[in-house]
Chain A
Amino acid sequence: MISQKTILKHPLSVRIFHYLLILSFLPLAVTGVFLYFKPLSESAMNLTMQIHVVAGVVLTLDAIAFFLIGFNRVVLFLKRIFYFSINDIKWFAILGGYPQKILLRKKVVVPSMGKYNSGQKLFGICVLIGGTILIFTGWILWALPHLMPREAVSLLGTLHTFFAWVLTLFLLVHLFLGIYMFDDFKAMILHGKIPYDEAKEMAPLWVEKEIISISENSY
């Protein structure tokens, strides 16, 4: 029998951070690709650059606000994405069972995972490091290039382009799997909740070690 019990997986603060991330990073990725290939007229490229800058400012404010307001969640996120075990190697060996499930419609045994599976951990590390570098380099390239030596600005430009491509390509995978895991998609976009049974199957270690019932939470 399927239980109706749910877990609050993504609190409101995380969802708001993620909404603003969608609103800023998607335009950044699209305009970034246009800025790289320059397919439009001069005036259209100028407009593209302006959109890129505005979205970059929104992303920066979103990241700083979440860092300051939700620092405990940032610490928790870091603890989770940088914790590795033998299960992560086993997970990558079968890529979490997704190719078998999607391409062959075959279910394979997947090692037990915490809140984030190994692929999500890798994505989290890329987003954290790449995102920080993109924000940092973006601001210097836009607002402060005159303060830096030419070689340093050139190096920052190369770093900005490299990490922008890494995150943009990773974003395509994230969008696909994010929507494929539809309960998780609804939790992040709508209400924050995920069915208990689903969580127990997808993230057994998380449910076992980190989840408590509300009645137990009397701190």
Chain B
Amino acid sequence: MEKQSYQYIENPLHVTRREFITIGGIVAAFLALPAVWIKMVTSSNNNYILARTKGLYRDDEKASIRVSHANKSVARYYKEFGGEPLGHLSHELLHTKYINRTKGLS
């Protein structure tokens, strides 16, 4: 508890009710602006994602080969060269490793 060793304070009624409501309303309106902006940009961002998803599904429906194990080229690769899926040679040739590229980007 604060010890009252002072003789004067600010008048607690220095702000009138009308001023309080006006200033409080302006603050609330200003704080709502970023929320509206975020809603706008994120919803348009989601539109791109939705359009991309729709395009991928459409391409998939149209494709004659829709799964990798039905792909004749892949089957031929394993039969004539790669051996078996997840085999040693396929692992060496087809799997990628993590490389930190952040330095190159910055």
Q: Which residues of A contact B (CB under 8 A)?
A: 5-9, 11-12, 71-72, 74-76, 78-79, 115, 132, 136, 140, 147-149, 152, 191-193, 196, 209-214, 217, 219
Contacts and interface: CB of A to CB of B under 8 A. Distances in A.
B23 A214 contact: no
Nearest to A196: B8
B45 A79 contact: no
Contact of A152 (B4, B7, B41): B41
Interface residues of B, number: 26
Contact of A71 (B9, B14, B24, B48): B24
Contacts, number: 81
12 contacts: A7-B8, A9-B10, A74-B27, A75-B19, A140-B38, A149-B48, A192-B6, A193-B5, A193-B6, A196-B8, A214-B7, A217-B9
A148 B41 CA distance: 7
A217 B19 contact: no
A76 B11 contact: no
B42 A147 contact: yes
Nearest to B46: A147
Q: Which of B2, B7, B8, B38 has most A Cβ within 10 Å?
A: B8
B67 interface: no
B27 A7 contact: no
A76 B24 CA distance: 10
Nearest to A153: B41
B19 A79 contact: yes
B44 interface: yes
Contacts of B105: none
B12 A219 contact: yes
A211 B19 contact: no
A210 B2 contact: no
A152 B5 CA distance: 53
B41 A211 contact: no
A73 B48 CA distance: 44
Closest 3 CB pairs of A and B: A7-B8, A6-B6, A8-B6
Given A78-B27, A132-B31, A214-B8, 16 more contacts: A6-B8, A76-B14, A79-B23, A136-B34, A147-B45, A148-B38, A149-B41, A191-B5, A192-B2, A192-B6, A210-B11, A212-B8, A213-B7, A214-B6, A217-B9, A217-B12
Contacts of B45: 147-149
A7 B10 CA distance: 8
A3 to B, nearest CB: 9
Contacts of A192: 2, 6
B99 interface: no
A184 to B, nearest CB: 15
